[in-house]
Amino acid sequence: MPAGDGRVAFIDTRDPGEPAARILEDPRGHVGRAYPLTGPRALTFEEVAELLTEELGRPVRYDPATIPGYLRHLRARGLPRVQMLVQTVLHAGLRRGDAEKVDPTLAESPGRPPGSMRAYPSDHRALWAKESPPGGGRRVSPATEERGRREIAMRCQWLP
């Protein structure tokens, strides 16, 4: 992906659950408010690859792509044009630093502290296994993948 040396304040997928549940239990004080949720530290994709190499005990590399190269890669995978454009714009934004700001909102909210990028691969080791998922084969069926592509295309019809 064309993220270059851009940093991202990656968030553990488990972290937003507790604050979201508290808001849903009593939404009155949260009407019209937005809460930026980030991880505790912004990392480059190169740093993430190094961390994964350490945690998983096997080499993981990040090879930054050029924007034209990334578009060629997505086209070769058969992605719809609109999905190619959305993904490229989002990843190019990472290169510009669009996701590097670490916000204290999550760290200051009651509950457990935000998870670290180092803990994530350790806690989810099975997801990073080289073997196929249980039962072999793909993690997502071709029909499910196609439905997802159609849904993305439908939601993004307004894009050129």
pLDDT values of the chain reduced to their tens digit, one per residue, 160 residues: 888 999 999 988 888 888 888 889 988 988 898 888 888 999 999 999 999 899 888 898 998 889 999 999 999 999 999 999 999 998 889 999 999 999 888 888 777 788 888 888 888 888 877 654 454 444 555 655 555 555 444 443 333 3
User: Do residues 82 and 19 touch, judged by C-beta distance below 8 A?
Assistant: no
Sign of CA pseudo-dihedral 149, 151, 153, 159: negative
Would you state the pLDDT for residue 159? Answer: 36
Which regions of 16-98 does DSSP assign to beta strands (E)?
Answer: 43-44
| Distance in angstroms (rounded) separating the CA atoms of residues 80 and 77 | 9
Domains of the chain in sequence order: 7-132 (3.40.50.720)
Would you state the pLDDT for residue 23? Answer: 87
Helix, strand, coil % in the chain, rounded to nearest 5: 50, 0, 50
